[in-house]
Amino acid sequence: MTAEQLGEKADLAGASILAIEGEHVILGDQRAIKISQALSIPEDVMTVYRGRLPKYAHKVYREKPDKLEKKIRKAVKTLEKDDE
């Protein structure tokens, strides 16, 4: 899907999509919701994209931040291997 196509589907300008991808513009909550709906993905995915933890991970982060980080790193490595 091109930036223009996503923009149309999310009711955003294609230039805005490109600016977000290029990290020239902050995604923001409202755009994240529109994009997640347009892509039919959970808003939590967009939360992670914005550099935030989903709400369901906050308790673990407060209580065991080092353990959470290790689990995230392990999951990412597993996903990278799956893509190879």
pLDDT digits (tens, 9 = 90+) for 28-84: 888 989 999 999 998 888 888 777 888 888 899 999 999 999 998 899 899 898 887
Name the residue ranges covered by the structural domains of the chain.
1-52, 54-84
Q: How many CB atoms within 10 Å of residue 10?
A: 20
How many residues would you count in the chain? Answer: 84
* Mean per-residue pLDDT, 15-40: 90
CATH dotted code for 1-52: 1.10.260
